[in-house]
Structure 1
Amino acid sequence: MDTVSPTFVSDQRIARQRHTLADGRELIYFDDPNTALPPERSADLRDLAPRPATASMRQDALTGDWVSIAAARQNRVFLPPAHLDPLAPSTPENPSEIPSNYDVAVFENKSPSFGPLLEDDNAPADLDDLNTIGLGRTRTSVGRCEVVCFSPEHEGSFASLSTTRARTVIEAWAERTHALSQLPGIQQVFPFENRGEAIGVTLHHPHGQIYCYPYVTPRTQRVIASVEHYGPSLFADILASEQAGDRVILRGEHWTAFVPFAARWPIEVHMLPHRQVPDFAGTTLAERDELAVLYRRLLRGIDEIYDTPTPYIAAWHQAPTGTHRDDIRLMLQVTSPRRAADKLKFLAGSEAAMGAWIGDVAPEQAAASIRDAVARAAEKDTE
């Protein structure tokens, strides 16, 4: 049935502490099972300006795509020094976004691309409204954007976390996916991590984001078209084909990671659950437990390919909230433009202008290289 499942299995070992920031934004602390932190947390005593107005989005009549014009994002912090880290626990010298020390913290973005409004007179009426093509069409960029802080440390990434902390982050993704999918006007929930200045990261603090779109994204629309053309077994058949081939990187009881048959990027790894599950909210505790191990191992391996950390985008593709939930499967796609120790793949004319990709590395060669790096990283892992 193509509706968001009302059931969500919560890991009771991970405590939640809910607070409100000084300007009304929601903040949630997720505590590790073995946390040394007290349940009491400080209030946000900052004197903050009102939240920016919700942005407006415009339709590209040539493609039907919607573009959010979020000018307030121009004012976001850009590569601050460690003593002014806005994602670190607050101190008198650095009144940050998070008032207390924490294990994992999730809060509403101060300069969101979508939201804070969830409903508005000019919000999209439905998917038919969004799919209608016209000139000069605008809609309010309703939705929500959240920041997921993986650690209070100033530098790092998901790969630098302990397995316990990685599991807490995954629990936050699952719970937030469940909660955000219930909000009015939300068509798709997208957790992701940008890592490295080459990707465009503006904060070195280990963190990711969750975007809640008021439309089904163009990438997912193309996946839907493929499913409708091929049949509902597309994801299951892709997984079976990859598991039988020579591009598998890691395989567990519940998850398999592989370099895809038609990889676009020099480093590209996908990961699928072994059963049909539309999003993080639908995963079991056992699936989340294994993912904390395998996903951390995968990212550590990607960092081991070269002598310096690898920039990447780790994108968790989830089914839309109201359609194709029985045939679109939760899927990780990690991509990096790094094609050599000192070279990046830039999107030039064919890719950027026409969307016609040319691969620089054979996927089988890339898989062998990543497998070797994952093995080397595992030998160095002291946990």
Structure 2
Amino acid sequence: MLYLYGREPHTLLPQPQDKDAIATGGELRFHPLRGEWNVYAAHRQNRTFKPAASADPLAPTKPNGPATEIPFEDFELAIFENKFSALHPLAPNPPVLNGISSETASGACEVIVYTPDAEGSLHTIGQDRRLLLITAWIDRYRSLFARGCDYVLPFENRGDEVGATLHHPHGQIYGFGKVPLVQQAAIDAFAAGYDLAEEISRAMPGYGLAEEGGMAAYCPRYARFPYEVWIAPQQRRAGPWECSEAEIEGFATLLGDVTRRYDAFFGRPTPYMFALHSAPRESGDTYHFTAQFYPLLRGPDRVKYLASVEQHTGVFTVDVMPESAAMALRSV
């Protein structure tokens, strides 16, 4: 499926496109010592890897040009099913493994293309396109929840250091059939009474970068990554679908502002992992929505590696104090 989002009516003539096979997901296996479900999707090993600019699969399809994933000459913002999907509504039944719990990897994997331009960032695409992006995220939340996904995660992997295999400005959306372990821990913390709005009020302005329309961009006092930044409504909202028009405007502004600050501070396009953490389909009455940036740099030429301690224990060693990070990014 292909979904096109835009501000203006378009006369979009579809170009010829080959019929490609789309993977229908992998399988889930339960890790008994970590209490988590992981996805096994061997077909993703052969996914598109750093194609030449002339073979950009996320570009518009031009007349007499190579076919792409978007068979139109022009578009504003596009979302399509990932053909190398790890989660899928038609996922096959997994094989029976003695002593191992396994289930079908039901869900959805989508690619969201921010712009037809081959280069850009959340900053350079501009405020209007960021507002369109947020509108598209909200639409996909509602659609995937309606399809039965328990948890929806829009995210972006930016840069070679993160493992991005396509440089065209884009993100992804995963719809999970089960709430992931990390998100379940957050759900439990909010249900137990953790007040993120109060924490934000304590952190501002000392740990803050900017405020706009009831939204705050700040370095969490308990950040795990050097220069980690969160954007969050200053009053509890379960997800962007609950935000006011002013909060949506502020969210869009801060998405561009944080990305601009990173690139200016590090002096190059900053590799990061970015995701929206919203309430699940159910039990979201106490959840507080955040958008979280995890940069993969601790200096302009120094990568923050997730090495043995982080990977084996989940205990992160943070090289830059959050208060220092806030001061540095605020000064940009």
TM-score tier (shorter): over 0.9
Whether the 8 Å contact between 2:130 and 2:252 is mirrored in structure 1 is: yes
Aligned partner letter, 1:315:
A
Select the residue among 292, 306, 315 that pairs with 1:347. 306
Select the residue among 97, 109, 120 that pairs with 1:156. 120
Equivalent residue number for residue 129 of structure 1:
none
Select the residue among 129, 151, 176 that pairs with 1:213. 176
Select the residue among 266, 281, 286 that pairs with 1:327. 286
Equivalent residue number for residue 11 of structure 2:
40
The reply to whether residue 248 of structure 1 matches residue 211 of structure 2 is: no
Q: How do 1:1-383 residues align onto structure 2 when only pairs under 5 Å count?
A: 26-32=1-7, 35=8, 39-43=10-14, 45-91=16-62, 92-100=64-72, 101-117=74-90, 135-184=99-148, 186-229=149-192, 231=193, 233-243=194-204, 245-323=205-283, 325-373=284-332
Cα deviations by residue, 1:230-255 (Å, 9 ceiling, x for unpaired):
x1x52222222222x51011112320
CA-CA distance at 1:224 after TM superposition = 2.5
CA-CA distance at 1:166 after TM superposition = 1.2
Aligned partner letter, 1:107:
F
Cα deviations by residue, 1:167-189 (Å, 9 ceiling, x for unpaired):
111111111111111112x1100
Distance change (3 Å), C-alpha of 1:167 and 1:97: same
Whether the 8 Å contact between 2:121 and 2:169 is mirrored in structure 1 is: yes
Aligned partner letter, 2:112:
V
Give SS of 2:61's match.
Answer: coil
Cα deviations by residue, 1:301-341 (Å, 9 ceiling, x for unpaired):
11110221111111111111112x11111101101121111
**Cα separation, 2, equivalents of 1:121 and 1:55:** 9
**Cα separation, 2, equivalents of 1:222 and 1:85:** 39
Cα deviations by residue, 1:189-209 (Å, 9 ceiling, x for unpaired):
001111111111000000011
Structure 1 stretches of at least 4 aligned residues deviating more than 3 Å after TM superposition? none
Fraction of identical pairs, as percent: 33
**Mind listing any 5+ residue stretches in structure 2 that lack a counterpart?**
none
Whether the 8 Å contact between 1:256 and 1:271 is mirrored in structure 2 is: yes
Whether the 8 Å contact between 1:85 and 1:94 is mirrored in structure 2 is: no
**Cα separation, 2, equivalents of 1:287 and 1:364:** 25
**Cα separation, 1, equivalents of 2:221 and 2:25:** 40
Whether the 8 Å contact between 1:57 and 1:141 is mirrored in structure 2 is: yes
Using the size of structure 1 for normalisation, the TM-score is 0.81
**Cα separation, 2, equivalents of 1:308 and 1:189:** 30
Using the size of structure 2 for normalisation, the TM-score is 0.93
**Cα separation, 1, equivalents of 2:93 and 2:313:** 36
CA-CA distance at 1:67 after TM superposition = 1.0
Distance change (3 Å), C-alpha of 1:253 and 1:293: same
Aligned partner letter, 2:212:
G
Whether the 8 Å contact between 2:17 and 2:71 is mirrored in structure 1 is: no
Distance change (3 Å), C-alpha of 1:81 and 1:27: same
